[in-house]
Amino acid sequence: MSGVLLELDRLAMGFGDLAVIEEITMHLARGEFVSILGPSGSGKSTLFKLLLGEHRPASGTIALAGGGDRRSAFAYMPQRDALMAWRRIIDNITLGLELAGMSRRTARRKVVPMLGRFGLEGFERSYPDQLSGGMRQRAALLRTIVQDRPILLLDEPFGALDALTRMQMQGFLEGLWTQNRWSSLLITHDVREAVLLSDRIYVLSARPGRVIGEFDVALDRPRIGSAGLAAAASAIEAQILDLLLNTNPDAKDIVS
């Protein structure tokens, strides 16, 4: 791992009297895949909204390496796929490029060669409603990565998929990531997903969300479908589950 790319320092935020996240400190190194794992209501999505500037933190700081501009640092993949029903698949994928000022022609020329790898060849002129859940998710992922931004923010990208499609998508993402090593933050409440995909995992408590644990996942890749790693992965999973299930969210003196 080369240096730290993104650093959150004692970030806190709430709505009115309701504290949503408390004193969250975490970092992301260049080329690192980090998951943020927590129960629903632990403020995971709020954390992304803070990074994206949708909300302002009550306290704490967000710092990018080299003082980079936060507005162009993140390629965001929202929950569900957020594909626009009224745009054809190709136009959904090029959306970010066009908003960045690229001409439609140039944007398409950049995207078209990647369609095959994403299993979308022949569907570029289809509308999202004509595609299966897995294809929609791959289109949303492609829309995210073609923006060529320094950090990927993936907010439960596979949460709405059926179990089988989700496993296929996890394998697909792992394969892509292994080739490209994008610096990525993944929000999930799926422990197995976090272990299979991440270099490091932060575990959040229930609301107000705090970091109650940090796990290094030092397993070889590819991990998905690798029988030899199953035992080691299960051990980490068990540790995380134990932490998540046996933590009393009301206790003030939680030790990770």
Catalog residues that contact another protein under the rule CB under 8 A.
Answer: 49, 52-54, 71-72, 74-76, 78-80, 82, 84-86, 95-96, 99-100, 122-123, 125-132, 135, 147, 153
CB 197 within 8 A of CB 174: yes
**Could you tell me the smallest distance in angstroms from the CB atom of residue 95 to another protein?**
7
**Could you tell me the smallest distance in angstroms from the CB atom of residue 171 to another protein?**
21
Cβ distance to another protein smaller for residue 134 or 213: 134
**Could you tell me the smallest distance in angstroms from the CB atom of residue 20 to another protein?**
16
Contacts of 3 (CB under 8 A, 6+ apart): 29, 30, 65
**Could you tell me the smallest distance in angstroms from the CB atom of residue 82 to another protein?**
4
Cβ distance to another protein smaller for residue 78 or 171: 78
* Sole residue written with tokens 């046996």: 246
**Could you tell me the smallest distance in angstroms from the CB atom of residue 253 to another protein?**
36
Cβ distance to another protein smaller for residue 121 or 214: 121
Cβ distance to another protein smaller for residue 129 or 253: 129
Cβ distance to another protein smaller for residue 72 or 256: 72
**Could you tell me the smallest distance in angstroms from the CB atom of residue 254 to another protein?**
31
Cβ distance to another protein smaller for residue 168 or 205: 168
d(CA 110, CA 183): 21
